[in-house]
Structure 1
Amino acid sequence: MTPFLILTLLSTCLWTPTAATPQGDSLSMFLALPKCAQPCTINALTAGGCDLFNATAVAECSCTNVPLKAGMSLCVQDNCPWADQKKAAFISYNQCKDFTHESRQGEIYATGLACLIIPFVFIALRYYARFLIAKGLWWDDWMMMIAMVSHIGGCACIFVATNLGFGQHLWNVYPGNTEEMLKLFHVVQNFYIVIQVSAKLSLVLLYWRIFPTRWFRVALRCSIVWLVVHGLGFILFVNFQCNPMAAVWDRSIEDAKCLSLNGIAWAGGASAIFEDVVILLLPIPEVMKLQLTLQKKIAVYMMFAVGSFACLTSIIRLKYVHLFGNTKDESWENVDVLIWSIMEVSVAVVCACLPALRPLFLKVPGFFTSNGSKGGSSSGVATPAKNNSSNNNTPVRADVKGTRGSGASSTADGYSSRRPSTSAFRGARARPGFEDLSMDRDEVPFATRGAVERAPEETELADLEKGVGIAR
């Protein structure tokens, strides 16, 4: 059957007047193909219902019929060594380059640009809030900067890879660009891990800055260690998935031994969702200790929980991971997982910034109103307790029972037996409790128990002015 079809194709090409045209020169194209690719071509043309007696129709059919081209490409990849695959790819590309092909490059550019601009705006607002109110940055802010720089680098690689052909079917990509495109896609995977881990570390460090409870700090330390180990581990897996390493993007290395990239992707996605859930649940015990109404506790918790909402995009992304590493049409089949990966890390950066933007929201009338006030007080903080007695043993109300810093030992009813020094009151602003939801000195109100205000000493005031929180 195959010899007959070959003779039919040859006779058609020899006797068809259009055979000399660039698109109709099927004979020269067929003869130039490697021997291992010739049966793939004939079988694909037959299965695609192409008119073998019309050379122009053969060219048009083979170049515009996506299932036909996919079957031909799969057959060549399965039966030909890399050198012959590349030779066949050049012939196919030159024959079909003038035809219109389906492309998803526009989707990639649009998604990448939007997911680059929006996080950049939120990062800028975050740093504006930090410098405006805290006059400096802390570790959670620096982690977010690492995430944003990595995000910019990842998007830059994606745009270059898309310009090289990513977003088109592999057989429509110029064969000389394939290796560079795969190399950039590999670099993007590294950026993805760094962004994901940095954004989560930023949230954990934000918790550290706000909640001083000892057991909670232990849990946060464990979370930090887990995130760092997870990040380093998956970077090693991604970069050393093949031996030699260059086999990840250089398909001419045919005797390479590689791990399952699909398995790595599934493990990474599952661990990312697990981490999001843990970070989502971490603040609940601390928030439940607050002397607030249930409604305010929920509002405070949601302020933290919004930082972990990226897990929703992580779950959606898993829907497309099954094709990752299991396809012969990588530049097309991996578009969905790439788009959702971009969206996932972008949402992670934006959500991790939202708790830190609360001071800016408080300046907008109607945002986070408290006690019927519209937009909060002008200062956004509680007023320090007045010194109405000259007796140094006059009790001063403390905002936290047993809070360290001022050295005061709180009594059972929340009063301190030690009166702060006069110097501590100069220019000092009292630290409000969660009862005053209009606070704008830091990301969230800091008091965890007791009454609304206390007068911090000079060292604590310096920390507060820097936005460090209760304790470093």
Structure 2
Amino acid sequence: MRDFRLTIVVLACILLICEAAESMNYANEMPKCGITCMVRLIPSSTCALTNTTCLCTDTGLAKVMQTCILSECILEDALSVARMSETACGRPRRYKRGGVWAFIAASIVSLLCIILRMYSRWKMMKRYEADDFVLVVALPSYQVMAAFLALGVDVWTLGSDTFTTALKIQYFDEFFYIINLALTKLVLLFFFLRVFPHRRFRIAVYIIMGFVATSTTILLLLQIFQCLPIESVWLGWKGNYGEHRCLDINLITFSIAALSIAQEAVILVLPLPLLAGLNISRGKKVGTLLLFSLGIFVLVTSCIRLKFIHGWAHSTNPTWDYMDAFIWSGLEVDVSVIVVCIPAIRILVVATWPKMSHWVIASNPSELEMFNRGQEKD
């Protein structure tokens, strides 16, 4: 028993490079599962027990230690061991929040676009239509999306309460993310109904609306009830929550992404045949096609995001590994908002600066209004 205690003190002293009394405090705070792994594995390292630099940089030792700790400890204790080891070895904390500035810039632009769109619609039309009201409904959920910016550090640097709060924020962010993508799609579809009077086209739009609404409802239910009890979504990670059941979160995440990309592709292609047949000059026809093809930016953003959600829910360091996924999720929403606002902003720009009319489909406000009211004929 004495030899075992002595080994713990020696190992703690090696890791902390400190006085014996402080080493005993460290050993007392270290979860037992962590001490067990240290006692078992550190002596097998090729490093001398007195060479702290070697022990702290031995990647082979770190790998087997991680495997041991994850198998012996509940996750809350595993994070405590990792946090104490990082402190003992004097490793600096990592931060990965550079992409946050891109998200903030895109968020500011998208908010300005919403303001300009609403101003344009009232100035030019003196009323709002269904697509405007849907965008207003989307605005509160769009604002909540910024909550994920608390992430971007190694998970073991966070306290248990902080990580629990981060998981809770993520849970609600996922809910609003699904809603927001659906609402921005509906904004575009309502815009199509307002612009194009063709019966077959409108039937197709209604069918796609139904598909978007139905699939979104199903995905929302899966997201809300991904775990039972629901609170285990943000409390179950500790490993001592008790009995709970969860769906395959990775499958749900990829299903949301795949459905969203498929819907965006259909919505992008849907109006192109009608636009190609408009009885306008070739230059304006090209400009119109380009205007309605801006949705390709949303599609590209969604595909890039798909790359970063690989292995979702299986990471041992989610707050670090999936910061890029959170950033691209926010950018996807921002780009969607910007795209649905551009047609109305274009009308305001032409009304304010008529010389720019050659970039759009009509040359004066009355023609623009006529187009927006769906009076343009093939």
TM over 0.5: yes
Of 312, 319, 330, the match for 1:324: 312
Flag structure 1 segments of 5+ consecutive residues without an equivalent. Answer: 382-431, 433-438, 450-472
Of 198, 205, 222, the match for 1:220: 205
Of 74, 80, 90, the match for 1:81: 74
Between structures 1 and 2, the one with greater helix share? 2
- Matched AA of 1:447: E
**Match status 1:368 vs 2:357:** yes
- Matched AA of 1:33: M
Whole-angstrom distance in 2 between the partners of 1:5 and 1:50:
20
Alignment-derived partner of residue 265 in structure 2: 277
Quote how far apart the aligned CAs of 1:347 are. Answer: 0.6
Contact 2:298 2:332 in 1 (8 A): yes
Quote how far apart the aligned CAs of 1:289 are. Answer: 3.3
**Match status 1:335 vs 2:328:** no
**Match status 1:142 vs 2:141:** no
Partner secondary structure for residue 140 of structure 1: helix
- Over aligned residue pairs, what C-alpha RMSD do you find? 3.6
Alignment-derived partner of residue 167 in structure 1: 152
Quote how far apart the aligned CAs of 1:350 are. Answer: 0.5
Contact 1:359 1:443 in 2 (8 A): no
Quote how far apart the aligned CAs of 1:364 are. Answer: 2.6
Of 97, 109, 128, the match for 1:105: 97
Which protein has greater RCO, CA pairs closer than 8 Å, 6+ apart? Answer: 2
Alignment-derived partner of residue 232 in structure 1: 217
Contact 1:116 1:151 in 2 (8 A): no
**Match status 1:19 vs 2:18:** yes
Structure 1 segment 177-326 matched on structure 2, within 5 A: 177-251=162-236, 252-326=240-314
**Match status 1:52 vs 2:45:** no
Contact 1:370 1:376 in 2 (8 A): no
Give aligned pairs, total: 373
Quote how far apart the aligned CAs of 1:361 are. Answer: 2.4
Q: Deviations over 1:223-245 (max 9, x none)?
A: 11111112111111111111222
Quote how far apart the aligned CAs of 1:183 are. Answer: 0.5
The structure that has the greater radius of gyration is: 1
- Matched AA of 2:233: V
User: What TM-score does the superposition give when structure 1 sets the normalisation length?
Assistant: 0.69
Contact 1:74 1:328 in 2 (8 A): no
Contact 2:16 2:89 in 1 (8 A): no
Flag structure 2 segments of 5+ consecutive residues without an equivalent. Answer: none
Change (3 A) 1:91 1:295: same
**Match status 1:117 vs 2:117:** no
Change (3 A) 1:445 1:205: closer
Whole-angstrom distance in 1 between the partners of 2:202 and 2:309:
35
Whole-angstrom distance in 2 between the partners of 1:15 and 1:282:
66
**Match status 1:346 vs 2:337:** no
Q: Deviations over 1:388-447 (max 9, x none)?
A: xxxxxxxxxxxxxxxxxxxxxxxxxxxxxxxxxxxxxxxxxxxx4xxxxxx356648731
- Matched AA of 1:209: R
Whole-angstrom distance in 1 between the partners of 2:28 and 2:44:
20
Contact 1:34 1:84 in 2 (8 A): yes
Worse-superposed segment, 124-133 or 257-266: 257-266
Contact 2:17 2:88 in 1 (8 A): no
Percent identity of paired positions between Structure 1 and Structure 2: 26
Contact 1:130 1:137 in 2 (8 A): yes
- Matched AA of 1:105: R
Contact 1:167 1:332 in 2 (8 A): yes
